[in-house]
Structure 1
Amino acid sequence: MSDMVILITASSALADGWADSLQLHDAVRLPDLAALNRSAVPADSLVLLDLADVVASEQDILQACRHCRVLALSSLPQDEEGMHWLQCGAAAYAHAMSTPDLLQQVFDTVKSGGTWVGRSIMQQLCARFGRQQPVADAPDWRARLSEREQHVVAALREGRANKEIARLLDISERTVKAHLTSVFQKFGVEDRLQLLLKLTGR
């Protein structure tokens, strides 16, 4: 993955805040997505994008999300907007003015190849993908998991959070996380969303 980080916002104060929170003082600053798409930036560059300033065609959005790892940051987050950006290929959807600690978590997750969304969107996505039938070669996905891991994945496909899964299976939340970590490793994914996408062949 490229080490280049790009900040796109019309607010210099917001860009400064992101740079200070993440220690990104060498980050490239661009005015908009069109400028990003015209630039010869390395593939998989990390882009922090202020959605308040996005006046772009769907084509520009899709092109940017295909070429770069886009963190779509909204001053007024809404699930519908978040779902749209994720469907376009954004790697994260979060509040533009997140606390430094939260912003660092989002950034690190995306930098390591994961996807970040808020809890309510994650539950919607899990439920949506979980209702779909697994891909044709899916019989062998169960064979790769222990019985308890299968139960955890089944609960995940219902859109349940870790705490709910722990209560449902009468195990600790820590054990749920351990099972999920094992499942992610077996399928070569970074998070629950990527797992569900893989199981549904997306």
Structure 2
Amino acid sequence: MNTAIMIASPSPQWLGTWAQGLEDRLITTASSLDRLYEELVRRQPEVLLLDLALPGMGTPMEIAPLLRRHAGMRIVALGTDGDDHRELALFRIGVRGCCRDDIAPSQLAQIVAAVMRGELWIRRTLTPRLLDELGARLREESEGRREAVARLQELTRREREIADLVGNGESNKEIARRLDITERTVKAHLTEIFRKLRIGDRLKLALLITEAPMC
């Protein structure tokens, strides 16, 4: 089955040029922000070739909500013109590729194939910087998990009991029944558990308990 691709640009010239190298693909075009939103819902493309000159889609802050709403869609941003800071910001939010708008149509087809394989289309000079940022982020997250695991020792016996049951996937109602307490009491304990561990929800608590089961 051919890859479903959408091309979004306010320029008829770029819409036509970029489509030239993608003749064997299922292509939809959008020349405005409203049209883009409509077609994304209707077509659910696998790849979006996004012209950063499209009003309302020129910055990482504007593009990020689009990625959240259409998880799994791969975006290639065109028109970056070699701006290091802009491209790095786009990769940070989840864009899969960046290139100039005057790229050859045949090369654009190569980019689509690459991002569909799970690769990033990124300039070689930016790769070390992006890897350094990723490494630093992973180290921070790992340190945060270690600190949270250490804070498990601050829980009372009842709090740890409830935390372990959350780790087993039990609901507040099930926990209340098992411990012979009210759901309101379970919620109060969870509020205190989240405060002590400095986490915000039961999913993070369940993951933490899985990493550090009670001895």
TM-score, normalized by the shorter chain, greater than 0.5:
yes
| Counterpart position of 2:50 | 49
Tell me the alpha carbon deviations over residues 30-83 of structure 1, each in whole angstroms, 9 at most, x when there is no partner. 123443234414545211111123434866512322312111011623111111
| Counterpart position of 1:63 | 65
Two-structure CA RMSD over aligned residues (Å): 3.0
The aligned runs of 1:1-202 (5 Å cut-off) are 3-23=3-23, 26-39=26-39, 40-43=41-44, 45-56=46-57, 60-66=62-68, 67=70, 68-74=73-79, 76-131=81-136, 133=139, 136=142
Report the Cα offset of residue 88 of structure 1. 2.2
Tell me the alpha carbon deviations over residues 152-187 of structure 1, each in whole angstroms, 9 at most, x when there is no partner. xxxxxxxxxxxxxxxxxxxxxxxxxxxxxxxxxxxx
Tell me the alpha carbon deviations over residues 14-35 of structure 1, each in whole angstroms, 9 at most, x when there is no partner. 1111111222574111123443
Partner amino acid, structure 2, of 1:128: E
Partner amino acid, structure 2, of 1:46: V
* 83 and 24 in structure 1: CA distance in 2 versus 1, 3 angstrom threshold: farther
Q: Which runs of 4+ in 1 moved over 4 A?
A: 57-60, 134-137
Contact 1:5 1:47 in 2 (8 A): yes
Contact 2:33 2:54 in 1 (8 A): no
Report the Cα offset of residue 90 of structure 1. 1.1
Contact 1:2 1:46 in 2 (8 A): no
Contact 2:51 2:79 in 1 (8 A): yes
Please give the secondary structure, in 1, of the residue aligned with 2:53.
Answer: helix
**Structure 1 residue ranges without an equivalent (≥5):** 138-202
- Distance in 2, matches of 1:63 and 1:34, equals 15
- Distance in 1, matches of 2:61 and 2:42, equals 18
Instruction: Say which one has the larger Rg.
Output: 2
- Distance in 2, matches of 1:110 and 1:55, equals 24
Identity %: 21
Please give the secondary structure, in 2, of the residue aligned with 1:98.
Answer: coil
- Distance in 2, matches of 1:55 and 1:5, equals 20
| Counterpart position of 1:187 | none
Deviates more, 1:20-29 or 1:110-119: 20-29
Please give the secondary structure, in 1, of the residue aligned with 2:118.
Answer: coil
Contact 2:4 2:25 in 1 (8 A): no
Partner amino acid, structure 2, of 1:19: A
